[in-house]
Amino acid sequence: MRICPEPDARPVFPPNIVIQVKALACELPFEKGIPLSRFSSDEIATAAMNRGIVAQISGSTVWRWLSEDAIKPWQHRSWIFPRDPQFEQKAARVLDLYQGIWQGSALRSDEFVMSADEKTSIQARCRIHRTLPTTAGQCMRVEHEYERLGALNYIAAWDVRHAKIFGRCEAKTGIQPFDGLVNDVMTQKPYASARRVFWIVDNGSSHRGQAAIQRLQARWPKLVLVHLPVHASWLNQIEIYFSILQRKVLTPNDFDSLKNLAQRIIAFQDRYEQTAKPFEWKFTKDDLSKMMKMLSQQSPPIARAA
């Protein structure tokens, strides 16, 4: 059904039709017997006509309706649903630290918060033809073919409140390289004389669990290791810096040796720190609670056959 008062006017559909089409767009097509992973606006229009929701409708009309509510079934993003039973509790501790709070008390000026992680397997790709710089009317040109010259790992720590970055390039990851980074930080001022230095880390093998806490605190009693929940690296601020490094230095990837790659990374680290400011972190504990409530309303994960 549609209402069209004038021959040249845009068709006006009843509100219940609009609602049904939007609901259709929010379905997974393969769960309704349609062999598609995602809908386009034209496919939604076709499905609406096949179901008898409307006799005739165009994809452009469907697109206009969906844009009103920012519904985009043709897009998708990867997602890992929280599986740690203490996800909210562990994440909340980290978000408190970003706000300068620990166990309900404000941090003092001689207490510091470090965010640390490893960026692994960074390849050195030497292009078969040298990269050509930008010219008038021509963007930079990077040869598609390349020779692999190996890979290295970049281990780094970010001072959340003072915008200082520490890092080192290593052939391998592990306890020894990570402890080397910790030593780089904890043996220099102001961290060496700090009351406490909080280290926010994920659950990587070099700093996982109670064993890592005992190992690090035995050597640096003022160090407090704070683990993120499993699969919550998006809460680790060092990942923001890694994304900047990826855009500014590692893309496009064109290095004639691992040594050159390591030198470029460390040179960028020094350059970045000269003008760096603390990241404006906006995700709060209230946002976390809302997210956890929303996820709790989702269907439980489907068991997959082995």
Do 250 and 139 share a structural domain? yes
Residue 226: inside a domain: yes
Q: Distance between CA atoms of 82 and 86, rounded to whole angstroms?
A: 9
Do 40 and 177 share a structural domain? no
pLDDT at 231: 87
Domain of 252, in residue numbers: 87-285
Q: How many domains does the chain have?
A: 2
pLDDT at 82: 82
Do 111 and 212 share a structural domain? yes
Do 99 and 60 share a structural domain? no
Residue 172 burial by CB count (10 A; 0-12/13-18/19+): exposed, middle or buried? exposed
301 pLDDT higher than 80: no
pLDDT at 200: 98
% of the chain at pLDDT higher than 90: 79
pLDDT at 83: 82
Q: How far is CA 210 from the centre of its chain?
A: 26
List all residues 6 or more positions away from 167 whose beta carbon is below 8 Å from its beta carbon: 154, 155, 156, 157, 181, 265, 266, 269
Residue 100 is part of a domain; what is its CATH number?
Answer: 3.30.420.10
Give the pLDDT band of residue 69 (cuts 50, 70, 90). Answer: very high
Over residues 66-81, mean pLDDT: 90
